[in-house]
Amino acid sequence: MAYRLQGPVLEGELVRLEPLEQRHAGELAQAVEEARDSYGFTWVPRAGEVAGYIEAQHRRAAEGRLAPYAQIARSTGRAVGVTAYWEPRTLPDTDELFAVEVGFTWLAASAQGTGVNAEAKLLLFQHAFEQWGVARVDLKTDARNARSRAAIAALGARFEGVLRKSGRSWVPGEDGGLRDTAVFSVIDSEWPRTRAALRERVARYPRPPR
């Protein structure tokens, strides 16, 4: 049986996660043209590619395998990046969801280090564990991406190992090549501790004026 991902709006104090639509394209086109030095290991569209990027995400969503989001900074009301639920996994011969990945994430340079990423992950994890009842949330990155690996570990996810030549490389000049993938996870028994740590971390960032 096929499980179809459907992600609702998720509201935080620093970020609101809205299902990704073409109406976000203009603001995302500005976001992607800020400093791009943190995008070396992942594909992030240029301004002129954002509309096509959103269309591609919608095609994946139509297959039920992806629930893409725009990340809206509450301080400005503007879209500053994207993220998604991805690759739902169900128990054999059922539609009972037990695991999902959080991925397809990028943020404008100006939104990095503001608490937006931490709260977005808190919202995504919380919905997956507490509403969908999953046992596991995965996060993955290019094994060479030390910055991304450190950021994922800081969320409280546990490093599980490296899958060799397990997916497409997005590094410039490696077209058609395969990457080694670092795999992290949070499981249901760890979620209460991870949730408390993420809430404490998010609380350290200043709140936007209401």
Give the C-alpha separation, 131 to 56, whole Å: 27
Mean pLDDT in residue range 105-115: 96
Q: What are the tens digits of pLDDT across the range 19-59?
A: 999 999 999 999 999 999 999 998 899 999 999 999 999 99
User: At 1, is the pLDDT very low, low, confident or very high (cuts 50, 70, 90)?
Assistant: very low
Nearest Cα residue to 160 out of 168, 152, 169, 170 = 152
